[in-house]
């Protein structure tokens, strides 16, 4: 019985570490984005409003994050000028984590914290 309890505790610990390790870190995003106002990139509240759902945003991420697929960058010259920088950040931080990144953006908007 004691051995089963120890194994269960180890398994629970590994699952907790795994869940934390797979969480998308929005920290690097803060240098160019804020929740409620434009910085170098658009406010995340604006992004959330324009896409409507994490699934819709994740679809753009999964499609390679082409400028023509980006609702804000393709429509607003001030953000289109930053598209190359955002593509680099996409390649560094989002690619391979598209669903988690989109969910993190929508969760940050909902909570008001990045």
Write the burial class of residue 87 (CB in 10 Å: 0-12 exposed, 13-18 middle, 19+ buried): middle
The predicted pLDDT at position 1 comes to 52
CA dihedral 31, 37, 42, 43 (to 10 degrees): 90
With H, G, I as helix, E, B as strand and everything else as coil, classify residue 23: coil
Q: How far is residue 20's CA from residue 48's CA, in Å, rounded to a whole number?
A: 24
**Cα 3 versus chain centre, distance:** 40
Residue 40: closest CA among 83, 96, 95, 103? 83
Q: DSSP code of 69?
A: G
- Report whether CATH 3.30.200 matches the domain 26-111: no
Stretches where the chain sits below pLDDT 50 are 2-21
Whether 76 and 11 have beta carbons less than 8 Å apart is answered as no
With H, G, I as helix, E, B as strand and everything else as coil, classify residue 67: helix
Domain ranges of the chain: 26-111
């Amino acid at each position: 019985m004691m051995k089963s309890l120890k194994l269960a505790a180890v398994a629970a610990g590994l699952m907790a570490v795994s869940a934390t390790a797979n969480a998308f870190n929005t920290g690097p995003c803060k240098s160019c984005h804020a929740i409620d106002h434009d910085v170098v990139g658009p406010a995340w509240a604006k992004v959330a409003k324009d896409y409507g759902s994490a699934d819709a945003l994740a679809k753009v991420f999964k499609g390679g994050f082409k400028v023509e697929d980006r609702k804000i960058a393709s429509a607003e010259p001030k953000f289109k000028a930053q598209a190359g920088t955002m593509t680099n950040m996409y390649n560094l931080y989002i690619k391979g984590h598209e669903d988690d990144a989109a969910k993190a953006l929508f969760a940050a908007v909902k909570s008001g914290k990045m």
